[in-house]
Amino acid sequence: MSSSASCAVLNRIPAALGHAIQSTLAFFTPRSGGSPNANEIDSLYKITLAIALVIFVAVEGALLYALIRYRKRKGAVAAQIRGNTRLELGWTSAAAVILLALAVVTFTKLSSIENPPNSGPNGATLAGDEGLLFASSKRKLPPNGKSLNITVIGRQYIWQYVYPGASEPDGLGAPYSYEEMVVPTNTTVTLDVVSEDVVHEWWIPELGGKVEAVPGYHSYTWFKALKTGVFEGQCAFICGRGHARMIATVRAVPPAQFEEWLSKRRQQIKEANAAAHEAREKLGKQAGAGQVENP
Ligand SMILES: [Cu+2]
C-alpha cells in the first residue's frame, strides 16, 4: 500500500467513527427531522446521552482497572482505606456540576420546544381564511400571532382534523379529514387537541412530543413541517379494544398544493351535505314517512 493510500484510509477512520457514533446516538434517541421542536427534543436527548456515555466509560473503566490491577495475589495485603476527603469532595462537586449543566441545557432548549416560531417566508399565507389569526390567552402562538390552527378530535378509534374556514356563522362547514392530516410545509401549525370520549394521545414522533386528548379539556401543541413527506404516528394512550388501529399520519405538502387540497375538500363536503339534504327531503316526502313500523 502506498503512503498516500494508507493516508486516505486513516483519514476515513474519524469520519467512519463519527458516523458510527451518530447512528448509535440516533438509535437511542427520539425520531426527528420533521419539525424544529422534535429536533430540539432529540438534541437534548443526544447531549444527555453523550454525557452519560462519558461517565459510563470512565466509571466502568476505573472499575475494570481496579479489578485487574489490584486482583488477589499471593502475599498481597489489601490496603484498608477509611475516607478520603479530597476524593469525596471531588466526586460530589463533579456530580453537582454535571447536574447543573444538564439543567441549564434543558431550560435553554425548553422555550424553543414549547413556543411556536413564526412560519417560514415560503410557508402558507391563507390570509383570507378565518381562524388563521389567533389571539388567545391559553394557546401559545408564534411571535407574529399567525398560525394555521387545526382542531384534533380523538374518538374511539379514529382521529378527526378540523381545518380553519367555517362557511357557516356558527362555525360549521369547516373542512375536515380523518386519519390523515394535510398541512403546508414551513408553516407553523398549532393544534387544539380534544377528545369526544376517553383519553387518547396525539403523537407523531418526527413532529414533536406526545399530547393528551382529555375529554372536557383542550390541550395545545404545535409543529412546523420542515420538508414534504408523510409522518406517521398513532394514538399513544391505550383507549380501548381498537387502540392499535387508531393510527395517525401527517402529510406535508407545498403551501400551494395545500390550499388547493383545502378548497377541494371544502367543495366535496359541501356536495356531500347537499346530497344528504336532498335525500332527507325525498324521504320526508315519501308517503308514510314518519310512521315507523314496528318490526
Ligand atoms: Cu386512542
Distance between Cα 248 and ligand 1 center (Å): 10
The pLDDT value given to residue 278: 92
Distance between Cα 236 and ligand 1 center (Å): 7
**pLDDT over 90 (residue 235):** yes
Q: Say how far apart CA 29 and CA 18 lie, in whole Å.
A: 16
Distance between Cα 45 and ligand 1 center (Å): 27
Return the CA Rg of the chain: 29
The mean pLDDT value of the chain amounts to 85
The pLDDT value given to residue 291: 55
H/E element, 155: strand 148-155
Please give the model's pTM, rounded to 2 decimal places.
Answer: 0.75
Distance between Cα 49 and ligand 1 center (Å): 31
The pLDDT value given to residue 145: 79
Q: Which of 259, 264, 270, 261 is nearest to 168 (CA)?
A: 270
Distance between Cα 238 and ligand 1 center (Å): 6
Distance between Cα 246 and ligand 1 center (Å): 6
Q: Give percent of the chain with pLDDT exceeding 70.
A: 88
**pLDDT over 60 (residue 227):** yes
Confidence of residue 16 (pLDDT cuts 50, 70, 90): confident
Distance between Cα 131 and ligand 1 center (Å): 27
Instruction: Specify the residue for cell string 400551494.
Output: 256
Distance between Cα 213 and ligand 1 center (Å): 9
Distance between Cα 221 and ligand 1 center (Å): 17
**pLDDT over 80 (residue 247):** yes
29-48 pLDDT, tens digit each: 888 888 998 999 998 998 88
The pLDDT value given to residue 4: 57
Q: 283 near 289, Cβ under 8 Å?
A: yes
**pLDDT over 50 (residue 72):** yes
**pLDDT over 60 (residue 148):** yes
The pLDDT value given to residue 171: 67
Nine cell digits for residue 93: 462537586
Distance between Cα 20 and ligand 1 center (Å): 37
3-state secondary structure of 89: helix
Q: Say how far apart CA 11 and CA 17 lie, in whole Å.
A: 11
Distance between Cα 207 and ligand 1 center (Å): 18
107-138 pLDDT, tens digit each: 998 888 888 888 888 777 764 444 455 545 56
Distance between Cα 151 and ligand 1 center (Å): 16
